[in-house]
Structure 1
Amino acid sequence: MTQTTKVLALCGSLRAKSSNKGLLRYAQSNAPEGMSIEIADLAAIPFYNADISEPPAAVTQLLAQFGNADAFIFGGPEYNYSISPALKNALDWASRAPNNALLGGKAAAIMGAGGGMGTSRAQYHLRQVCVFVDVHPLNKPEVFANAFAGQFDADGNLTDERIKDGVKAQLAALAAWSLQLRK
């Protein structure tokens, strides 16, 4: 019997027609057998604040999604050479669980669409955050897309065959990596 890998995908862009959401939608609709991908909605997540004693419903739902996931896909733009605030904020909320129970030891894939270098600098910074929260990102294959070079349509949907192949390869690697980490 094949073990299902439950993946939570988080997009650092809140735009409906974001090319980064397009990458995640493509991944969701092309998940390999034995993998399910749920895309989190970060639009209503307030900035993390330790003074909030009772998290709002949107945060409670997001934390439950983190807890149910075996692995993650992080997709997002590069803001000022770094991670977008929405993605970092979601990780900040999840990292506050006792004993890092929502993140620790889980596999992750990182992808992104941005300018000429894709989102390489943001992905590098995200890897640094992953070290602290004990999330284990794939080393390869990497997915970097140029959001402004005809690789996406006007609605943010991925159209480039080379990037599509890269996403599929990354999903297969994520499934294997997640199973290896869960042994």
Structure 2
Amino acid sequence: MSQYNIAVLVGSLRRDSFNAKFAKAIEKLAPAEFTFKHSQIGDLPLYNQDDDANQVESVKRLKAEIKAAQGLLFVTPEYNRSIPGVLKNAIDNASRPYGQSAFAGKPAGVIGVSVGAIGTALAQQHLRNILAYLDVATLGQPEGFIQAKEGLFDADGGIGAGRRQFLTDWMGRYVAFVKKHAG
């Protein structure tokens, strides 16, 4: 495969989200054959099984973006020691109705940034549990529990020097993982 399209799901809606900025910054570390499309999740209705037979356009759009992608990138904050509700809602919408999940068989990377010292460790673990059920293979190592502190980003919005090598290595492993597992 010469081109890899990656669907990016950022678990934050905040205008100045660290995770949205972080997603854009780590994308710059990927090779040219990888393109990243941020999937909008803020316009999705709350998941309701009654709507499975007649999903709204925003749900259909999200499912189509995920199905068209060769890989997934989840970049999420940690809210109350878990994933944000908006991300869980997106996952629920795109994985239903039962047996028609857009996620099945996709390779994924899971990473996130937080002001807390342990980064997004618990959110990532919860997300990995959900993704395992949905038949999404996730990159296991290296784990990236990134703390948002001075120097994380450089003046151009890229990754700062202090974290660049680790995140370049992470992206290299993610790229190899997607190439190995993309269908």
Quickly name the TM-score band, shorter chain normalised: 0.7 to 0.9
Q: TM-score, normalised by structure 2?
A: 0.87
2:83 aligned partner, one-letter code = I
- The answer on 1:51 being equivalent to 2:50 is yes
Distance across 1 between alignment mates of 2:48 and 2:71: 25
Q: Answer yes or no: is the 8 Å Cα contact 1:4–1:35 preserved in 2.
A: yes
Conserved? CA contact 1:6–1:37, under 8 Å: yes
Secondary structure of 1:31 counterpart: coil
Q: Is the 8 A contact 1:66 1:102 kept in 2?
A: yes
Say if 1:67 and 1:101, in contact at 8 Å, map to a contact too: no
Could you tell me which runs of 5 or more consecutive residues in structure 1 were left unpaired when the two chains were aligned: none
Comparing 21-30 and 83-92, the one that deviates more? 21-30
Post-superposition CA distance 1:117-173 (Å, at most 9, x none): 0000101111111110011110112222212x22456xxx55532333333322222
Q: What does the per-residue CA deviation read over 1:73-111, in whole Å, with 9 as the maximum and x for residues that have no partner?
A: 101111111111111111111211564452112111111
RMSD of the alignment, in Å? 2.1
Structure 1 residue 54 displacement after superposition? 2.5
- SS in structure 2 opposite 1:79? coil
Q: Which residue of 1 aligns with 2:109?
A: 109
- Work out the percentage of aligned pairs sharing the same amino acid: 29
Query: How do 1:97-176 residues align onto structure 2 when only pairs under 5 Å count?
Result: 99-114=99-114, 115-147=116-148, 149-152=149-152, 157=157, 159-176=159-176
For structure 2, the residue ranges without an aligned partner over 5 or more in a row are: none
State the number of aligned residues: 179
After the TM superposition, which residues 1-150 of structure 1 pair with which residues of structure 2 at under 5 Å, given as runs? 3-52=2-51, 53-96=53-96, 99-114=99-114, 115-147=116-148, 149-150=149-150
TM-score by length of 1: 0.87
What is the identity, as a one-letter code, of the residue corresponding to 1:146?
Answer: Q
After superposition, the Cα gap between the structure-2 partners of 1:158 and 1:142, relative to the gap in structure 1 and judged at 3 Å, is farther
* CA distance, structure 2, for counterparts of residue 172 and residue 92 of structure 1: 29
